[in-house]
Chains A and B, each alone.
Chain A
Amino acid sequence: MSEIYIVASTILAILVLFGIKLMSSPKTAVRGNRLSAISMLVAVILVLGANDIIQLPLLWIAIILGSMIGYALALKVPMIKMPQMVALYNGLGGAASALVALVEILEATSQQNYFVLFTSRLALIIGGITFSGSIIAAAKLDKRISQRPAVLPHHKIISNMMIIVLILLLILSFSLNNSLVVFIILIVALTFGVLFAMRIGGADMPIIISLLNSLSGLAAAICGFTVFEPLLVSVGAIVGASGLILTNNMCVAMNRSLSNVLTGGTTMCASKFSSNSKDEVRMEEKAETETKKSPAEILKRAKKVIIVPGYGMAVSQAQFYVKNLTEVLEKSGTEVKFAIHPVAGRMPGHMNVLLAEADIPYEKLCEMDDINDQFAETDVAIVIGACDVTNPAANTAEGTPIYGMPVLKTGEAKNVIVCNLDTNPGYSGVENSLYTMPNVQLILGNAADTIKELINNLEG
Chain B
Amino acid sequence: MSIVSPWKQDFPVYLSHAHPNLCYLDSAATCLTPKHVADAVFHYQCYAHANSHKGLYQLSANVTERVEQARAKVADFIGASSEQNISFNHGTTDAINIVAYSFVEPLLINASSTGDSSNIVISAAEHHANLLPWQRLALQYGAELRVAPLNDEGVINLAELSELLDSNTLILAITHTSNVLGRQNPVEQICRIARSKGVPTLIDGAQAIAKGGINVNAIDCDFYVFSAHKIYGPTGCGVLYAKGQLFDQMRPYQLGGGIIESVTYERSRYVSGPLKFEPGSHNVAAIIGLIEALDYMADISWHDVNQYIDNLAAYMHSALESLPFYQPLLRRNDAGTVNKSSSLVSFQTKKVHCHDVASLLDNEGVAIRAGHHCAQPLHQTLGVNASIRASLGLYNDVSDIDRLIEGLKTAHKMMAL
Genuine A/B complex: no
